């Protein structure tokens, strides 16, 4: 009887030890998994920081892939952190009167150029060359281009004489503000989106405020 009692007690002890071991193992595995996740995030962040900004080509390719899925065109805006007119452009696009229209019709991406000496690291590699390719060099910023999902240039921020081709160099309207600049912008939107009359009126009104 005593022997049987001891065996029973030993069995209970073994179960307690097993439970403790498995609990410890489970806790350790959770801790180990958390450590691995943290290390992975730190490595990714470090690599990304060392790598610097994405190239212009990478940004545009990603935008065009999204545009193809969502049946939209791509609006590329060249800008810099110090550029007041660039901020006005973004504020106008993101204004509650305009934002839905732009979100519904365009995939919008920014390319950083012309940064100050202490912020050159913010510039996207290849962005300046792309701007030059489309006659945007020495035209100031913001400078913008609109492509279809396949990379065909549909329009840009350059005001040209009636009938001139996109290959011809024009006058950059930047962030539309003056009457003729906003008129050019509206014409571009008509050609590259599904803009309706109320949207046209709202956008024209908002961008004209930039002249004040």
Q: Where are the domains of the chain?
A: 1-51, 56-211
pLDDT band at 168 (very low <50, low <70, confident <90, very high): very high
- Asked if pLDDT for residue 45 goes beyond 50, the answer is no
Rounded to an integer, the average pLDDT of 134-141 is 94
| Residue of 91 and 47 predicted with greater confidence | 91
- How high is the pLDDT of residue 44? 43
Distance CA 208, CA 5 (A): 93
Rounded to an integer, the average pLDDT of 57-81 is 98
DSSP output for the chain: -HHHHHHHHHHHHHHHHHHHHHHHHHHHHHHHHHHHHHHHHHHHHHHHHHH-SPPHHHHHHHHHHHHHHHT-EEEEEEE-TT-HHHHHHHHHHTSTTTHHHHHHHEEEEEEE-S--GGGGGGSPTTHHHHHHHTT-TTS-SSEEEEE-TTS-EEEESEE--TT--TTS--EE--S--SHHHHHHHHHHHHHHS---HHHHHHHHHHHHGGG-
Rounded to an integer, the average pLDDT of 188-208 is 98
Rounded to an integer, the average pLDDT of 198-206 is 98
- How high is the pLDDT of residue 102? 98
Rounded to an integer, the average pLDDT of 129-152 is 96
**pLDDT for 100-121, tens place per residue?**
999 999 999 999 999 999 999 9
Token pair belonging to 73: 């065109």
- How high is the pLDDT of residue 183? 97
Whether the model clears a pTM of 0.85, i.e. scores above it, the answer is no
- How high is the pLDDT of residue 68? 98
The CATH architecture annotation of domain 56-211 reads 3-Layer(aba) Sandwich (3.40)
């Amino acid at each position: 009887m005593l022997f049987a009692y001891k065996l029973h007690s030993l069995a209970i002890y073994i179960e307690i030890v097993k439970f403790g071991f498995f609990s410890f193992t489970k806790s350790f595995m959770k801790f180990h998994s958390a450590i691995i996740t943290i290390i992975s995030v730190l490595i990714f962040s470090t690599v990304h920081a060392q790598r610097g900004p994405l190239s212009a080509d990478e940004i545009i390719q990603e935008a065009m892939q999204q545009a193809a899925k969502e049946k939209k065109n791509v609006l590329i805006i060249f800008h810099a952190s110090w550029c007041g007119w660039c901020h006005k452009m973004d504020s106008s696009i993101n204004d509650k009167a305009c934002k839905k229209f732009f979100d519904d019709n365009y995939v919008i991406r920014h390319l950083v150029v012309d940064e100050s000496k202490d912020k050159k690291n913010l510039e996207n590699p290849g962005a300046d060359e792309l701007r030059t390719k489309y006659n945007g060099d020495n035209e100031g910023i913001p400078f913008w281009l609109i492509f279809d999902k396949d990379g065909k240039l549909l329009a840009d921020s350059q005001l040209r004489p009636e009938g001139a081709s996109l290959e011809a160099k024009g006058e950059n309207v930047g962030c539309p503000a003056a009457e003729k600049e906003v008129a050019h912008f509206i014409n571009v939107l008509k050609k590259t989106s599904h803009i309706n009359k109320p949207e046209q009126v709202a956008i024209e009104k908002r961008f004209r405020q930039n002249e004040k």
